[in-house]
């Protein structure tokens, strides 16, 4: 059991590391896109003398800030803290509908889906 717990924790850590690495890689591409879009939109706003052209920068900046916070900021720590708070104070939100799944429930589902099972 201890080995299984250690293995599950290692898999969780590796998946989290992959998520962070993916976010950092995505941020490189999105940051480049955001920078080019900001320069292009600013040039367009100056050329057309219309500040409304800059409007798309607002949602793009929120996406950029979120991705940066996920890759290099404290977003994961804040998410972890909120998850711990939910576990401590709002555990009823985590209950499964119809309660936990039992072996009998699984057998009923298996029998209902099996074309070859004949009930005696």
Using DSSP's 3-state secondary structure scheme, residue 115 falls into: coil
Looking at per-residue pLDDT, the higher value among 113 and 85 belongs to 85
Nearest CA to 21 out of 70, 80, 56 is that of 70
Over residues 70-93, mean pLDDT: 94
Contacts (Cβ under 8 Å, ≥6 apart) of 53: 41, 44, 45
pLDDT at 119 over 60: no
Interval 97-111 mean pLDDT: 89
- At 10-64, the pLDDT tens digits run 999 999 999 999 999 999 999 999 999 999 999 999 999 999 999 999 999 999 9
Full-prediction pTM beyond 0.85?
no
Tokens of 52: 């409304």
Domain count, the chain: 1
pLDDT recorded at residue 113? 87
- pLDDT for the residue 58: 96
DSSP the chain: -HHHHHHHHHHHHHHHHHHHHHHHHHHHHHHHHHHHHHHHHHHHHHHHT-GGGGTTHHHHHHHHHHHHHHHHSSHHHHHHHHHHHHHHH-GGGGPPTTSS--HHHHHHHHHHH-SS----
Range of the domain at 23: 1-119
């Amino acid at each position: 059991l201890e080995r299984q717990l250690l293995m599950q924790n290692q898999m969780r850590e590796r998946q989290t590391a992959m998520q962070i690495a993916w976010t950092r890689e995505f941020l490189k591409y999105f940051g480049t896109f955001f920078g080019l879009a900001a320069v292009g939109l600013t040039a367009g706003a100056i050329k057309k003398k219309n500040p409304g052209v800059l409007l798309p920068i607002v949602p793009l900046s929120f996406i950029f800030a979120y991705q940066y916070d996920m890759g290099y900021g404290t977003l994961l720590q804040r998410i972890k803290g909120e998850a711990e708070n939910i576990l401590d104070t709002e555990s009823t939100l985590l209950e499964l509908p119809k309660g936990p799944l039992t072996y009998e429930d699984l057998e009923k589902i298996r029998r209902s889906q099996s074309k070859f099972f004949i009930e005696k």
